[in-house]
Amino acid sequence: MNKARELLLQNFDQMVSVLQKTICFNTEKGEPAEGAPFGVEIKKCLDYVLQVSKDMGFETVNCDGYAGHVDFVGTSKNVLGILGHLDVVPSKAEEWLYPPYGGEIHDGKLFGRGTMDDKGPMIACLFATKALKDAGFEPASTIRLIFGCDEESGMECMRHYFTKMPYPNVAFSPDGDFPVINREKGIFQFALDCGKLPEGVTIHAGERANVVPSLCTVTSKKQLQVVGNVTESFANGVYTYTSLGKSAHGSTPNEGVNAIHPLLQMLANAYPENATLAFLANKCCDTSGTAWGINLWDCESGNLTCSLDIIRTSENGDIIITVDIRFPVSYTCEHMQSLIEQNSPSFCKLLGAHASEPLFVASDTYLVTTLMDVYNTAMNVNVSPIAIGGGTYSRCLPNCVAFGPLFPDEEQTIHMPNECIDLESLKKMALLYLEAIYRLTKD
C-alpha cells in the first residue's frame, strides 16, 4: 500500500492533466448521433477516458455510447463497482470567472464544469486503480470503474448499461459527499399543467428539472409593482421584467435563489383574479412544500424539499411547470404522487414524472463500515454516515452508496457557476479512494 500511495502522488500531475482534458469536452447533453446517444462531445469524452485507461493496461468496454467501463480484473468472480459520470449540467459562460470548459488552474484550484461533478473524482479513482496495479497489487474482486453519460438528465445510461451488464456485487459512487451517504431521499420530478395566465402575460425560466433557475423573464401589457432583484424595460407597448437569482442543485433549493419566485409574486399581485397565478405564487414557491400541503419528514433523512425549476407557456397557452421534489426515505413515489394530486387545484393536470425511490443501505453492512473506517482513520475523526436529497448513481443498483467527493468543510460549487476542485482536496480524495478500493477488493 505504501508503494501504491507513493505512485499515486508521483503521478498526480498526470492525473491533473488528464482531468483538464476531460473538462475541455463540453459534455452537456446534446443531439443524438450514431454511437452517441447523448451527443457527440460526450462520446468523444468517453472515448478519450477509455483510451487513457487502455493505455494504462486495463480492459475497457464501450456500452453503445451510453456508458463505458474499465476493468482491473481480479482473481475471484466478485466485482467492486465504482460508478460515476462524464456528462455535466449546462453552464452560462458569462456567469463564470474562467471559461467553464477551459480547465484552467488558478490559486490552486482547477476550474470547470464537471471538476467536482463528476469527472474529478472519477479520474482520481482511475489513477488510484492504476497506482494499485503499478504497485503489483492483485485484487481478489475485479475493480470496475463505470463511466455513465446521462446522470444529469434521467440516468438513461444506467438503465441501458444494466440491461447489458451484470450488477457489481457491491459498489460506491464518488458523486456525493464524504464520509458516506447511505440514505438518499426519493425523487419526484414532475410536469404540471396549471391552466392559463391572463391575456398578454408570458413567463419563461429554467432549463433543467434539477437546477434552481437563476434567470426568469416575464412580459406583461400591464405595468407591475417590482419586488426583489427584478429589472423593468418597456418597448412596443409591452413591459419586460427580468429576475436574477442564484442557481443551485434542485435537491438543495435553499442554497440558491429562485429567479421565478419574485416574478410570480409580482404577477399574482397585479392579477389577483387569476387562479393559476394564485396557485403558483402562494403554493409552489415554498421550498418546504408546506404551503402546498405536501411537506413530509422522517428521522432517517429529514424534511422534504420542493424546487420550482422550469416554467413555460405551452403551445395551447397553458402554463407548464416542472417541480423537483425530494422526499424522505420512509415514503414512496406512489405516496408522493397522490399527495400532490390531492393538494393541487382541480384545474391542474399532472403530465408526467421522473420518479426514483429512496435509497437506504444499512449502516452496519460491510460496505458502509469499511468505507467509514477508511474515512475516519485517514481524517482522524469519528463521524457517522449521512443522508442527502441528491440522487446519485447509488440508486441505479443494489448495494451501492455514495463516497465523496465533497469534504464536509468545503465550499460546494456543484451545478453552480465557477465549479472548481481544490487540488489539495483532489490529492486527499485520491488517497481515500486508493485505500477504499484496496480494502474492498483485497480478499
Pick one of 28, 41, 87, 118: the residue that binds Zn ion (CB under 5 A): 118
**Residue (80 or 116) nearer to Zn ion, CB:** 116
**Residue 378, H or E segment:** helix 366-379
DSSP letter assigned to residue 396: G
**Closest distance of CB 174 from Zn ion, Å:** 9
Closest to Zn ion by CB, 5 or 119:
119
Give the chain's largest Cα–Cα span.
Answer: 74
Half-sphere exposure of 415 (CA within 13 A, CB side): 24
322 or 394: CB nearest Zn ion:
394
Which residues in 164-223 contact Zn ion (CB under 5 A)?
175
Residue 53 CB, nearest distance to Zn ion (Å)?
20
Within 341-380, the residues that bind Zn ion by CB under 5 A are none
How far apart are alpha carbons 278 and 271 in whole angstroms? 9
* C-beta of 245 vs 390, nearer to Zn ion: 390
Out of 41, 87, 117, 309, the residue judged to bind Zn ion by CB under 5 A: 117
* Nearest-angstrom CA–CA distance, 230 and 219: 12
- Which span sits near Zn ion by CB under 5 A: 23-31, 113-121, 277-285, 398-406? 113-121
Least Å from the CB of residue 85 to Zn ion = 6
The residues that bridge with 280 in the sheet, in sequence order, are none
Helix, strand, coil distribution of the chain in percent, nearest 5: 30, 30, 40
CB of 175 to Zn ion, least distance (A): 4
Contact call for residues 114 and 96 (beta carbons, < 8 A): no
Name the one residue in this structure whose C-alpha cell is 392579477: 271
Q: Which stretch binds Zn ion (CB under 5 A): 116-124, 217-225, 231-239, 250-258?
A: 116-124
Half-sphere CA count of 429, side-chain side, radius 13 A: 33
CA distance 264 to 283: 11
Considering beta carbons, is residue 175 or 324 the nearer one to Zn ion? 175
Lookup: cell for 14: 498526470
Residue 157 contacts residue 148 (beta carbons within 8 Å): yes
When the beta carbons of 118 and 177 are compared against Zn ion, the nearer one is 118
Smallest separation (angstroms) from Zn ion to the CB of 329:
20
**Size of the chain, expressed as the number of residues it contains:** 443
Decide whether 37 or 176 has the Cβ nearer to Zn ion.
176
- Asked if the bond preceding 179 is cis, omega within 30° of 0, the reply is yes
**Cα 394 from Cα 361, distance rounded (Å):** 10
Cα–Cα distance measured from residue 50 to residue 69, given in angstroms and rounded to the nearest whole number: 8
- Beta carbon nearer to Zn ion, 150 or 175: 175
Q: Total residues contacting Zn ion (rule CB under 5 A)?
A: 3
Binding mask 126-165 for Zn ion (x = CB under 5 A): ----------------------------------------
**Helix ranges, 165-303 (H):** 260-270, 275-283
Q: Nearest approach, Cβ of 388 to Zn ion (angstroms)?
A: 12
Question: Closest separation between CB of residue 441 and Zn ion, Å?
Answer: 24
Q: Which three cell numbers stand for residue 100?
A: 467553464
Contact between 419 and Zn ion per CB under 5 A: no
Give me the 68-107 binding string for Zn ion, x by CB under 5 A, dash otherwise: ----------------------------------------
Contact positions toward Zn ion, by CB under 5 A? 117-118, 175
